[in-house]
Amino acid sequence: MQDAPRVRLAAVCLLLVPGLAACGQSQPPAASAPPPPTVTVARPIERGVVDYDEYVGRFVAVNSVEVRARVSGYLDQVHFRDGQMVKEGDLLFTIDRRPFQNALDQARANLAQAQANLAYAEADFKRGQQLVRDRTITEQVFEQRTQALRSAQAAVAANEAAVRQAELDLQFTELRAPISGRIGDRRVSAGNLVMGGTAASTTLLATIVSLDPIRLEFTFDEASYLRYERFSRTGKEVTGREGSVMVDLKLIDEDDFEHRGYMDFVDNVIDRSSGTIRGRAVFANPNGMLIPGMFARIRVPGSPVYQALLVPDSAIGSEQVRKYVLVVGPDNTATPKYVTPGPVVDGQRVIKAGLAANDLVIVDGLMRVRPGQKVNPQERKPDAPKPGPQAKAE
């Protein structure tokens, strides 16, 4: 029984021997820190840009004419194909000329009769002048001859006017295109009675719209109008009333603003119901692809040219509602700078505030870096955007 405590003590010592041996050995070295991530940095591009506003508009024709007859009669011939292009002066319709030719012949005959009466009255008046001096006839008879001469002269003038009107009526039997453009479909077929004249009941025969050039009408809000006007009053024209402001346009199936035109009109009143004002731009349309009624998106200058800093859009990060870029300092530490982004210019984002021209901005590898982390910067020059101020709102 006395040996039991000794046995237990010996067993405990045997268990402690491996632990004491392990304490005497050296610890393994700690793992080395990873190298700083490699990122691509670039300085902002500094250039003049213009902010652009985009609106949706509808094309309207510069000239639109309803072809109506000036004289009544039966439609004799149609000289065009529905929907074709016509030039100014092309013959479109012919009304039966025979009644108007007869009216002209009658007017000319009446004129000839009036001219014969005038010749007799003139000769009678000349004889009366000599006879009244010789006191062969009385003053009353001479006055009668004078009155007959004046009546004959008036009759000739009236018949001359009747001839001119008959010639016009005969000319109006041929309806020609008043403008160049595309004509619609005929509204009346040959053989139908056409009502002419200046009353509201005249017969509509066809419509013609001009296509080259063509206008695009759009509306913009009152705040934009005030901004444009204030710029214009400082000598920086952006409203385009004088046709000096260039604008761009794209159709609904196009990705880029491929069509170039110019502003030529801004209305003089703001619509009370919508609070907008109407603007208008003119575009060349040599192939006739743009037609009235078609929708398009127009881009107009929203500001004068100003100097701005541009960085790639991918270099901008988001922190809730704030935007930032990571800037590499002299000690290769990534530091966030909160910026105010502007529009996109040819793939580059305009920075309106918060960035300096000599800052080195991380443009590639942003997702591998945390603010305050050391980085291995590799500087490169970013691709310059296309020349010319091109900016659009987003």
Q: Which two structure tokens, joined as six digits, stand for 147?
A: 């009155």
Q: Which two structure tokens, joined as six digits, stand for 322?
A: 């704030």
Q: Which two structure tokens, joined as six digits, stand for 208?
A: 């013609």
Of 184, 209, 234, the position where a domain reaches its end is 209
The domain containing residue 262 runs over which residues?
53-62+215-301
Is the residue at 28 inside a domain?
A: no
Q: Which two structure tokens, joined as six digits, stand for 102?
A: 């007869």
Please tell me what DSSP assigns to residue 192: S
Q: What's the rounded Cα separation, in Å, for the pair 177 and 183? A: 9
Q: What's the rounded Cα separation, in Å, for the pair 373 and 35? A: 11
Q: Are residues 201 and 262 in the same domain?
A: no
Neighbour order of strands in the sheet with 181-183:
64-68, 204-209, 181-183, 85-86
Q: Are residues 181 and 227 in the same domain?
A: no
Number of domains in the chain: 4
Q: What's the rounded Cα separation, in Å, for the pair 185 and 173? A: 20
Q: What's the rounded Cα separation, in Å, for the pair 156 and 117? A: 9
Is the residue at 11 inside a domain?
A: no
pLDDT at 113: 94
Q: Are residues 88 and 182 in the same domain?
A: yes
The pLDDT tens digits of the residues spanning 354-368 come to: 888 888 888 888 788
CATH number of the domain where residue 111 is located? 1.10.287.470
What are residue 49's phi and psi, to 5 degrees? -135, 165
Of 268, 301, 334, the position where a domain reaches its end is 301
pLDDT at 32: 62
CATH number of the domain where residue 294 is located? 2.40.30.170
Q: Are residues 253 and 272 in the same domain?
A: yes
Q: Are residues 75 and 177 in the same domain?
A: yes
CATH number of the domain where residue 184 is located? 2.40.50.100
pLDDT at 394: 46
pLDDT at 238: 56
Q: Are residues 76 and 184 in the same domain?
A: yes
Q: Are residues 147 and 189 in the same domain?
A: no
Question: Virtual CA dihedral for 205, 67, 286, 241, nearest 10 degrees?
Answer: -140
Q: Are residues 223 and 269 in the same domain?
A: yes
Q: Are 382 and 312 in contact (CB under 8 A)?
A: yes
Point out the residues of the chain with pLDDT beneath 50.
1-2, 7, 12-13, 17, 20-24, 26, 385, 387-389, 391-394
Is the residue at 131 inside a domain?
A: yes
Q: Which two structure tokens, joined as six digits, stand for 77?
A: 């011939």
Q: Which two structure tokens, joined as six digits, stand for 122?
A: 């003139």
Residues 6 or more apart whose CB falls under 8 angstroms from that of 21 comprise none
Is the residue at 5 inside a domain?
A: no
Q: Are residues 229 and 353 in the same domain?
A: no
pLDDT at 208: 95
**SS3 for 268?**
coil
The pLDDT tens digits of the residues spanning 30-73 come to: 556 678 888 888 888 888 888 888 899 999 999 999 999 999 99
Is the residue at 290 inside a domain?
A: yes
Is the residue at 385 inside a domain?
A: no
Is the residue at 13 inside a domain?
A: no
Of 301, 330, 346, the position where a domain reaches its end is 301
The angle formed by the CA atoms of residues 344, 348 and 353, to the nearest 5 degrees, is: 75
Is the residue at 194 inside a domain?
A: yes
Q: Counting Cβ atoms within 10 Å, is residue 30 exposed (0-12), middle (13-18) or buried (19+)?
A: exposed
Helices (H), ranges, the chain: 4-24, 98-133, 139-171, 222-233
193 pairs with which residues across the strands? 74
